[in-house]
């Protein structure tokens, strides 16, 4: 098994600046291209990740509300998925994504859409708990913050929809954000998961699962 090419943080930052793709996607592209910058850019474009990031600022006010009811009848989801035109909203690719997102929400019960939707008070509370756990486990002072940040990343994976691994991908390598980026590449428009509601029989009602960002 060939070892991955080592890449520096500066190389990754430069690629992110040029393509707008995510950190891990840029790092992987550089590693797979043997550190060749232009090949890495080309690889990101082939996957649609660069173009997806560049479209992210475009207004998405069309779309659909898609629902999913589990066969047990005990869990139901409604999700608003936005795009730029009604033409794309009616496309099979867009509707398939909506169904995948609704299924994801039903299965893994995220609390927020993305990291930016998590209230700062919640983040600070979680980090303080993780710091205390690190201290209690005997970690040296210089390692406490690093351990807290690592556990916070896991918190995002558990509770933020876009960070969750797709329930369809048993390898755990494909995140919901990747599914959105792949569909953006296919339809050529910005796509936004605007908000969702998940209902489960007997569950306490919450109002945290909305996306207040304006795009």
| Mean pLDDT, rounded, for 166-186 | 90
Give the model confidence (pLDDT) of 198-208 as tens digits: 999 987 765 54
* CA-wise closest residue to 81 among 184, 202, 204: 184
pLDDT of residue 2: 44
Q: What whole-number distance in Å separates Cα of residue 126 and Cα of residue 215?
A: 29
Structural domains of the chain sorted by starting position, each given as residue range(s) with its CATH number in brackets: 9-55 (1.10.8.10), 62-115+160-200 (3.30.479.20), 119-158 (1.10.286.20)
Reported confidence tier of residue 213, pLDDT bands at 50, 70, 90:
very low
pLDDT of residue 175: 93
DSSP state of 210: B
| Tokens matching residue 189 | 């428009």
Query: Do 211 and 197 contact (CB within 8 A), yes or no?
Result: no
pLDDT of residue 215: 40
pLDDT of residue 38: 84
Reported confidence tier of residue 4, pLDDT bands at 50, 70, 90:
low
E strand or H helix that includes residue 186? helix 176-187
pLDDT of residue 190: 87
pLDDT of residue 113: 96
Residue owning tokens 């807290």: 148
pLDDT of residue 205: 66
| Mean pLDDT, rounded, for 145-150 | 84
In angstroms, the Cα distances linking 187 to 41, 59, 60, 135, 190 are 20, 15, 13, 49, 9
| Tokens matching residue 164 | 């969750």
| Mean pLDDT, rounded, for 124-153 | 85
User: If you average pLDDT over every residue of the chain, what do you get?
Assistant: 84
Query: Do 197 and 77 contact (CB within 8 A), yes or no?
Result: yes
Checking if the pLDDT of 16 tops 90, the result is no
Checking if the pLDDT of 184 tops 70, the result is yes
- Please give the angle made by the CA atoms of 188, 118 and 157, to the nearest 5 degrees: 70
The overall pTM is greater than 0.75: no
| Mean pLDDT, rounded, for 142-170 | 89
Give the model confidence (pLDDT) of 19-76 as tens digits: 766 677 788 888 888 888 888 888 877 766 655 665 666 667 899 999 999 999 999 9
Give the model confidence (pLDDT) of 70-118 as tens digits: 999 999 999 999 998 899 999 999 999 999 999 999 999 999 999 999 9
């Amino acid at each position: 098994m060939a070892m991955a090419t080592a890449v520096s943080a500066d190389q990754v930052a430069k690629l992110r600046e040029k393509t707008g793709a995510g950190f891990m996607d840029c790092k992987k592209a550089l590693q797979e291209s043997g550190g060749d910058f232009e090949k890495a850019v080309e690889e990101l474009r082939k996957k649609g990740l660069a173009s997806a990031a560049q479209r992210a600022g475009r207004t998405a006010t069309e779309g659909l509300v898609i629902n999913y009811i589990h066969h047990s009848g005990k869990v139901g989801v409604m999700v608003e998925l936005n795009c730029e035109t009604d033409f794309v909203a009616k496309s099979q690719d867009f509707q398939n994504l909506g169904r995948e997102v609704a299924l994801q929400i039903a299965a893994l019960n995220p609390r927020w859409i993305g990291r930016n939707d998590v209230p700062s008070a919640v983040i600070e509370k979680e980090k303080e708990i993780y710091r205390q756990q690190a201290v209690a486990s005997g970690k040296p002072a210089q390692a406490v913050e690093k351990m807290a940040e690592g556990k916070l990343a896991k918190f995002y994976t558990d509770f933020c929809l876009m960070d969750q691994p797709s329930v369809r991908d048993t390898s755990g390598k494909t995140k919901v954000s990747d599914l959105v980026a792949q569909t953006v590449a296919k339809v050529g428009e910005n796509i936004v998961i605007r908000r969702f509601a998940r209902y489960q029989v007997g569950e306490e009602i919450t109002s945290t699962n909305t996306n207040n960002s304006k795009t």
